[in-house]
Chain A
């Protein structure tokens, strides 16, 4: 057991923080959010040049071999400045699926351009009526000539307007299982209805009308697609938890800064004990969230039961405490907290989006309860024995 960051990991954090401080100040973020362009190509290319887009991938796949801890460091810093570019959606979630399920030629075709910043794949999985269940797929795929034809609807595909590749899940009726297909976003059978998300991001609902996919673009034909999908979502959820921790700390930081500056009754708000204690409570929740997020990070590659305990436990816990922190941050800003002029609304909305991305707080508490309410889990602390691994 060792929970200290290595020298390299600390350097990574410093480097990322330094870059984002210089290139992603709040004014930049504000401008980006106001723009209708779904992707800042220049910034995305910078992320690629810095090696961030390749960080999650093995060196054998052309990546830089970062582990879950490195991904979490990157995400936490991105959450701090509320980066709008879809790193988790593209590089962690979609990229992770490609790396896990793709053949080496598929990886070469799909991952290399992602790592270089030339391609942006996203996962199109969620459908209406899913009720938090991962195996709810009504989009259908039929074998057709040298490939497949896909028909169905996907909703809330985050970053889809910026994507050139859609990883679409579809039920293969003849096989009776779910398949994963890399569909070019500009295929004539793909119709995007784009919109903005509450946190300033971009998303789309997608309709597939006999979209064509070549045989070579089916991923994991013989693999457990659903199981891998669940793992990939857990991994992306852990990354998002780290992002939320960064956002929570920023919400606290700007609140402290504001209450130190704002003078009422002849003294700064921060000098009132009633408000000091509320900020201290926010700090308590930030500390807890950080600990939860780290547990999620270190659970991604654990056996499934422990993975669910770590990831869903963290998603539910951080969902709950981040909501309080975000609400308190607004409250302590007073009426200014409601004004778009102040940065605090950005983190409030980012944390609201966090709570509702990759399953809600309630979804995850259900999932955690289903996994963790067994005597074996309830009786065991977090230290792991490798033989059950």
Chain B
């Protein structure tokens, strides 16, 4: 048992560092620093994805037969850590991390051949169509209907949250094809072209001032049967498989350390009142506690990775623990960063995206974004199965 990097992994890490130093230009870094949302502005996200695609690294978790780099788990961990350390725009979302693994596992060869390369190239951008106004944590009670009509489905209803749907070309959606039996049984998984007639996408403004979420309305939208994944009624099984990936699966920990270090740099400089947060013992105690939390979470991630590499499974308690703790750590960092602002916390910049504002010194900009990041961070414990759902999952294992 040990924590040492193998020589080839060290070489891999250094290769990534060299690449990131070069490829991640100041404009991309700044855009990400000033991004208040979970995912980057697609303009920057796609630009960054294109740079990664050139190297064959845009989809680190994909096997080589589908155009991925075919990396080991350790390499993927290192890639995540290094990208976060360098401050990359976060853009591996619904396309690369969610629908792609579903296509690989459940898609037909034709679906894989058509969709996967277009995800890599950035031609297609996917949005998630899971939640509905009446189906959040209780996802299986979803009502968006798909009625078979020849070789098409006719879809009516609405999906909510759908991050970046206003930029997306496609949506993967859970729809109801049957009301018979248990509510989980009548669910089907469809791929929907967002250019199809009858689709309307309305923005949902977040409390941090950003347009990130949407509600998507379907009014008799025609979807070819060949865009169904699996069979009718397989939707729930596929949805559960996908949620495993959304819950972060592995390799989502690098961002915690990166945000923590950002906070350190903010705290190391005197604010307008002349005080440095780093000189405040209350700040230091809280900052250090979060550091120990990050180390514990990193260790959980590495332990899970080791288990999977050995052919095992991290188990539901460990996976849900990581999801819960990651969200709490991000929220704790954002909260502590906002606390550094003092009365400046009251200043609100409502123009979005923030990176379009004239450039100012990095720390001035950090102070400008901290409140919005704090407010946005509240979503961390809600999406991907809220922390209460994670506790349900753990309780079910504990008390069985």
- Give me the interface of A with B, judged by CB distance under 8 Å: 1-6, 9, 69, 252, 256, 260, 270, 273, 276-277, 279-281, 283-284, 287-289, 291-292, 294-295, 298, 309-310, 313-314, 316-317, 320, 362, 365-366, 368-369, 372-373, 375, 378-379, 381-386, 389
In the assembled complex, the Cα of A382 lies from the Cα of B6 at a distance in Å of 13
Residue pair A1, B302 in contact (C-beta under 8 Å):
yes
When the two chains form the complex, which single residue of A4, A277, A316 contacts B289, counting CB atoms closer than 8 Å? A316
Tell me if A287 and B300 are in contact (CB < 8 A). yes
Query: In the complex, A270→B284 CA distance in Å?
Result: 39
| Candidates A6, A276, A373, A383; contact of B399 at CB < 8 Å | A276
Contact flags B373-395 to A (C-beta < 8 A → 1, else 0):
00000000000000010111011
What's the A-B contact tally at a CB cutoff of 8 Å? 166
Whether A283 contacts B291 in the complex (CB less than 8 A), given A3-B1, A378-B257, A378-B264, comes out as no
Task: Determine the residue in chain B with the shortest Cβ distance to A382.
Answer: B298
Contacts of A320 in B (CB 8 A): 289
- Say which residue of A9, A256, A383 sits within 8 Å of B78 (CB atoms): A383
Decide: A384 and B5 in contact? CB cutoff 8 A: yes
B residues near A309, Cβ cutoff 8 Å: 295
- Are B284 and A1 in contact, CB atoms less than 8 angstroms apart? no
Q: Among B1, B298, B302, B321, which residue has its beta carbon within 8 angstroms of that of A284? A: B321
Interface centre among A291, A309, A384, A385 (most CB of B within 10 A): A291
Residues of chain B within 8 A of A381, CB atoms compared: 81, 253-254, 257, 298
Given contacts A280-B395, A284-B321, A288-B296, contact A294 B303 (CB under 8 A): yes
Any A CB within 8 A of the CB of B285: yes
**Could you give 15 example pairs across A and B, Cβ below 8 Å?**
A1-B9, A280-B390, A280-B395, A284-B320, A284-B324, A287-B318, A288-B296, A298-B1, A314-B292, A316-B292, A365-B292, A373-B284, A373-B288, A381-B81, A382-B295
Measured CA separation A292–B320 after assembly (Å): 17
Within the complex, which residue of A4, A281, A362 is in contact with B1, where a contact is CB–CB below 8 Å?
A4
| Complex CA–CA separation, A323 to B395 (angstroms) | 20
Q: Tell me if B2 is interfacial: C-beta within 8 Å of chain A.
A: yes
B97 within 8 A of A: no
Known contacts A284-B324, A369-B288, A373-B284; is-contact A295 B296 (Cβ 8 Å): yes
Q: With A277-B391, A283-B398, A375-B261 as given contacts, are A384 and B4 in contact (CB-CB < 8 Å)?
A: yes
Whether A383 pairs with B388 at a CB distance below 8 angstroms is: no
Q: Is the CB of A280 within 8 A of B391?
A: yes
B10 at the interface (CB under 8 A from A): yes
Instruction: Provide the bound-state CA to CA distance between A384 and B9, in Å.
Output: 11
Contact with A along B322-362 (1 / 0, CB 8 A): 00110000000000000000000000000000000000000
Per a CB cutoff under 8 Å, which of B78, B299, B320, B388 touches A294?
Answer: B299
| Cβ contact within 8 Å between A382 and B288 | no
Give the interface residue-count category, chain B.
Answer: 35 or more
- Set of chain B residues within 8 Å of A5, measured between Cβ atoms: 1
8 Å CB contact of B292 from A368, A378, A383: A368
Query: B178 within 8 Å of A by Cβ?
Result: no
A191 to B92, CA, bound (A): 68
Tell me the bound Cα distance from A4 to B309 in angstroms.
Answer: 10
Nearest CB in chain B to that of A294: its residue:
B299
List B contacts of A6 (CB < 8 A).
Answer: 1
Distance from B285 Cβ to chain A, minimum over Cβ atoms (Å): 6
Q: Which A residues lie within 8 Å of B260 (CB)?
A: 378
Per CB-CB distance, the 9 closest pairs between chain A and chain B, nearest first, are A369-B288, A291-B299, A3-B306, A280-B394, A276-B395, A280-B391, A313-B292, A317-B292, A287-B321
Cα(A372)–Cα(B294), bound, Å: 12
A256-B399, A298-B1, A378-B291 as given contacts; A369 in contact with B299, CB under 8 Å: no
Known A288-B325, A378-B257: A4·B307 in contact at CB below 8 Å: yes
